């Protein structure tokens, strides 16, 4: 089954946990700076750091294996369902909606970083 076909089913069935930065803010550990589409575009370094953090926080990923060049399946052992979940987590992290046709192409951190870094509304 294609990842695009899995996506609507996943969205109906899963409940996303709050991002670690929101949990820290709720615990009083300091609020993250809110981002909006009116802010200056993110630097590539910020995109890399945040995409790596998203992958490191995925329950099926060994954080020590996460590198900017890691492939989701070959290097991190993720299946197509996991990949859909990761792309959705990236969408949530950067307040983006990645069209299914584009999301199906994202199978590595390198491609995820490139997509976000080149997206004008990434926040």
Helix, strand counts (H, E) of the chain? 6, 0
Spatial distance between the Cα atoms of 86 and 58, rounded to a whole number of angstroms:
7
Residues contacting residue 33 through CB under 8 Å, at least 6 positions apart:
none
Known catalytic residue at 104:
no
Spatial distance between the Cα atoms of 84 and 104, rounded to a whole number of angstroms:
8
Q: Which of 53, 75, 79, 82 is catalytic?
A: 79
Which residues are identified as catalytic? 79
């Amino acid at each position: 089954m294609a990842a695009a076909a899995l996506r609507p089913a996943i969205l109906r069935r899963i409940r996303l946990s709050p991002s670690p930065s929101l949990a820290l803010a709720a615990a009083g550990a300091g609020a993250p700076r809110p981002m909006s589409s009116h802010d200056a575009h993110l630097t590539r370094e910020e995109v890399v750091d945040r995409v790596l953090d998203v992958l490191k926080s995925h329950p099926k990923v060994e954080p020590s294996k996460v590198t900017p060049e890691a492939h989701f399946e070959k290097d991190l052992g993720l299946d197509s369902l996991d990949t859909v979940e990761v792309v959705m987590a990236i969408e949530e992290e950067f307040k983006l909606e990645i069209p299914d046709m584009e999301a199906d192409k994202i199978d590595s951190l390198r491609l995820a970083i490139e997509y976000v870094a080149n997206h004008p509304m990434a926040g």
